[in-house]
A and B are shown apart, each in its own frame.
Chain A
């Protein structure tokens, strides 16, 4: 039934695209999803090992390779287990069934008499003398995947659901492990002089001064307004790049003001306006006969991915073929973009994934790869290694858009919402190069692309600005009005959760405010509005563990807050409670979390992701803001873009509520929104005053207190 097959299989129908049995008694599993620190390759290996009945150590994995691995688009949106995992399960089950079916014919027995033990075939428990490696042949692979083989029942799982350590961590704690560490023949190091903004033109470049500053005999590559410094010695090009901005004269540079760094700036910008949900306009004061109308506005500013490693890309052009190494989230989309921009056939370009630092979305990875490719075409027969500098990553990666959510509820006489409107102002939450976005080097080249097109994922794909915009509470009437700004002051693109964090922050803070208004305990208030049993279980679980029943009165300086959401309103559920103290700054003390992701493939990996999401969201909520002024972003180092440190991280207690009989739900982003909102609620509880605009810094708290 091809209409029920996952997209990954529909786009990659041949069995041999996914699986091969290799002579060394391993199984090569090829996938399009890539490791970005989330442990996906371990989880996918578990699924293949389970369905094939081979030991997990026999699974070798190849991921992200436009020559040798399937095209699964981008690794994003917590979809890798839901889509790729389901695909690997179906593919593995089908191959196993095909091979065993043929063996049953050979042995003249029923397929049910056959079993597999670590890849060795048994008949009624006795050796057959056959195994995958000796018996599987081209005939088994010579077919399109039909998806008709029945995967194992969950009750039979031996590998799925178990804690399996990640194989890639060994290299990461002992030495070379990342794209940054690759060494290729004839390698040259490169740095780029970035065009300050897309229409800026380079009027003058003092190459002599830059060469002198480099201390070496560097090569300077220029393609239009794209400039790179290239040499066999990395230190030399780093010095050139550090000095270069002082020796370059640009015209047509855009001018930014700090006003643009706040989400409220979007309120007056031209936008693509959409109305989703209940078609009636939002309630206006005076238009509703019964019911009180309450409204509040919440916001989050522009925030950075702030990967620990600045981006890196390698490219070499040899004999008319361009090979690229990148820590991109999508090797095929990147291959297509690079080929199109450089005027090459797609078959002339190979993109291979190599591990980078955690990206949490679309950062500078793709841009660095294009930088390397542009230079490689100018200097063929060398491997060009482009390493971005720290200020380059902060200054030029696409950031996550500022986002403002205004909520309006019509309340019944019990103070419960009967009509709900979320009005959202934001720039694009996704502008990948294949999704309306532009790439930096391309903007500096003579064939520069038209300006980026405002774009956002569809509602069916979870939305972008509207992600988690609809509450899952039992309100009668709900609508979302989305103002997608046509332009943003700086490039924006996807960051963990897209609009989910600001929207859940608004929703779950507003629910607390409504509970307070109704004089009802916030947990009891939530439960009175919520019939989804999976959500209720999590809220009750966390409330019990965090001591909600004995919560102190508001305004003591100590706060306890709780929030929940179901990511994208269709992926994993999470509820989070936060205990904190507010003196001048917010100090997190303890965090409790319960999550429900259905069948969990690797509970230890899942827990790691849940905890990581909590810390990341807490950092964003309390500390992070991209600042704008002059010719661009001014938060260019870790002092001006602080993130959470060891001394600020609370104790975290995560519980996974097991539902192994239910389908796996993507959970890499599910703690993000609830953590932010739980912090917002706990700060309000500590102070007796609500802070609605993130980040909840000392300055914003002080301003809220004097209002």
Chain B
């Protein structure tokens, strides 16, 4: 079936089974590889995307449930040449080891900063607690989110690509 949704500010129509996981749609139908497969069980957070501005797992989310909705992936935040303040903060803090968890974590951090631009450490920890990081980079990741908040970008939304409603 054909499902129309907005991905990173662009309207797209996907012809796929209604029960196809959103993660598969993003990665294989739309070639957006930044959302990552970790478990398929909504347990690790590697696949996190914004759906209408809220951080949501995409690995077990069926395509039909996002029809007409706005999905933002890590590619919708920034690019290597024009990184989003969060991406910049993660690079400045070198907040990564293997980096597999980072795209999902940055998505949750964006959802947090959009609703709470000045989060406490406890706020950050609470927002990221559904994410797993196996390399033990947690303290740097927390520092990077704090740094992004301090950068206080006037618009933490996706640059020029349309922030989610």
Q: Which residue of A lies closest to B102 (CB)?
A: A173
- State the CA gap A387–B90 with chains docked (Å): 28
**B135 interface residue (CB < 8 Å to A):** yes
Task: Tell yes or no: B40 within 8 A of A by CB.
Answer: yes
Chain B residues with Cβ below 8 Å from A605 are: 94
| Nearest CB of A to B128, in Å | 5
> Interface segment, A15-23, A43-51, A503-511, A635-643?
A635-643
Given known contacts A387-B37, A608-B94, A306 and B140 CB-to-CB distance under 8 angstroms = no
> Would A235 and B100 be within 8 Å (CB), given that A175-B33, A175-B75, A646-B125 are in contact?
no
For window 6-47 of B, CB contacts with A under 8 Å fall at 16-17, 20-21, 24, 27-28, 31-34, 36-41, 43-44, 46
Interface stretch (choices B76-84, B112-120, B151-159): B76-84
CB of A219 within 8 Å of the partner chain? no
> CA separation between A310 and B100, bound complex, in Å?
11
Chain A residues in 8 Å Cβ range of B38: 308-310, 390
Interface residues of B in 85-106 (CB under 8 A from A): 87, 90-91, 94, 96-103, 106
Quick check: B43 and A611 within 8 Å, CB to CB?
Answer: no
| A171 engages B134 (CB within 8 Å) | no
Minimum C-beta distance from B111 to chain A (A): 15
Closest chain A residue, CB of each to CB of B142:
A646
Are A608 and B137 within 8 A (Cβ)? yes
A172-B103, A357-B134 given as contacts; is B98 within 8 A of A390 (CB)? no
Query: Is residue B1 within 8 Å, beta carbon to beta carbon, of the partner chain?
Result: no
**Alpha-carbon gap, A215 to B24, bound state (A):** 15
Q: A308-B44, A308-B132, A612-B136 are in contact. Are A174 and B79 (CB under 8 A)?
A: yes
A176–B42 CA distance with the chains assembled, in angstroms: 21
A residues 371-425 near B (Cβ < 8 Å) are: 387, 389-390
A207 contacts the other chain (Cβ, under 8 Å)?
no
In the complex, B126 has a CB within 8 A of chain A: yes
Q: Is A358 an interface residue (CB 8 A)?
A: yes
Among the interface residues B36, B102, B126, which one has the most CB atoms of the partner chain A within 10 A?
Answer: B36
The minimal Cβ–Cβ distance linking A214 to chain B, given in whole angstroms, is 11
B1 to chain A, nearest CB (A): 13
Instruction: Name the B residues within 8 Å of A38 (CB-CB).
Output: 97
The answer for the CA separation of A215 and B18 in the assembled complex, in Å, is: 12
Q: Is the CB of A169 within 8 A of B139?
A: no
B133 part of interface (Cβ distance < 8 Å): yes
B147 contacts the other chain (CB 8 A): no
| Minimum C-beta distance from B82 to chain A (A) | 10
Taking a contact as CB atoms closer than 8 A, the residue among B24, B43, B79 that contacts A235 in the complex is B24
| Residue numbers in A under 8 Å from B98 (CB-CB) | 36-37, 172, 308, 355-358
Which residues from B are CB-within-8-Å of A647? 125-126, 129
A177 to B137, CA, bound (A): 18
| Contact partners of B43 in chain A: CB under 8 A | 637-639
Bound-complex Cα distance A424 to B132 (A): 33
Contact of B135 among A166, A178, A238, A616 (CB under 8 A): A616
Give every chain A residue within 8 A of B131 (Cβ-Cβ). 646
Interface 1/0s, chain A 436-451, versus B by CB < 8 A? Answer: 0000000000000000
Q: Which of A355, A612, A646 has the most CB of B within 10 A?
A: A646
Q: Does B61 contact A (CB under 8 A)?
A: no
Give the size of the chain A interface in residues (CB under 8 angstroms): 60
Let me know if B50 is at the binding interface, CB within 8 A. no
Q: Given A614-B136, A616-B135, decide whether A171 and B80 contact each other with a Cβ distance below 8 A.
A: yes
CA distance A175 to B44 in the complex (A): 18
The smallest C-beta distance from A679 to any residue of chain B, in angstroms, reads 14
Interface centre among A215, A234, A307 (most CB of B within 10 A): A234
Q: Does A96 belong to the interface (CB within 8 Å)?
A: no
Q: Which B-chain residue is minimally distant from A327 (CB atoms)?
A: B98
Is the CB of A165 closer than 8 A to any CB of chain B?
Answer: yes
Q: Which residue of A lies closest to B99 (CB)?
A: A172
Contact pattern, A 157-180, Cβ under 8 Å of B = 1, otherwise 0: 000000001101111111111101
Closest partner residue, chain B, to A178 (CB atom): B100
Given contacts A183-B31, A638-B44, contact A172 B138 (CB under 8 A): no
Assess whether B49 is interfacial by the CB under 8 Å rule: no
Say if the beta carbon of A116 comes within 8 Å of chain B.
no
> Cα distance A313–B12 when bound, in Å?
30
A540 to B55, CA, bound (A): 46
B5 within 8 A of A: no
Chain A's closest residue to B28 (CB) is A234
- Chain A's nearest CB lies how many Å from the CB of B161? 13
Residues 139-153 of B, flagged 1 when their CB comes within 8 A of A and 0 if not, give 111100000000000
Is B74 in contact with chain A by the CB < 8 A criterion?
Answer: yes
Least Cβ distance of A230 to chain B in Å?
15
**Smallest CB separation, A296 vs chain B (Å):** 29
The answer to whether A651 has its CB under 8 Å from any CB of chain B is yes
Given the known interface contacts A614-B136, A638-B41, A645-B132, the answer about A358 and B94 at a Cβ–Cβ threshold of 8 Å is no
Cβ-defined contact, B106 with A173, below 8 A: yes
Q: Which residues of B contact A340 (CB under 8 A)?
A: none
A173 pairs with B74, CB closer than 8 A: yes
Q: Could you list which residues of chain A lie within 8 angstroms of chain B, going by C-beta atoms?
A: 36-39, 165-166, 168-178, 180-181, 183, 215, 233-235, 238, 306-310, 355-358, 360, 387, 389-390, 604-605, 608-609, 611-616, 619, 637-639, 643-647, 649, 651-652
Name 18 A/B residue pairs within 8 A (Cβ), A-sorted: A37-B97, A37-B98, A169-B90, A173-B102, A174-B87, A176-B33, A177-B99, A181-B27, A235-B28, A307-B100, A307-B134, A356-B98, A390-B40, A611-B140, A616-B135, A637-B39, A645-B129, A646-B141
The 7 closest A-B pairs by CB, nearest first: A615-B136, A172-B99, A37-B98, A358-B98, A176-B33, A612-B136, A181-B33
4 other A-B residue contacts (CB within 8 Å) besides A169-B102, A174-B77, A637-B39: A308-B46, A358-B134, A638-B41, A646-B124
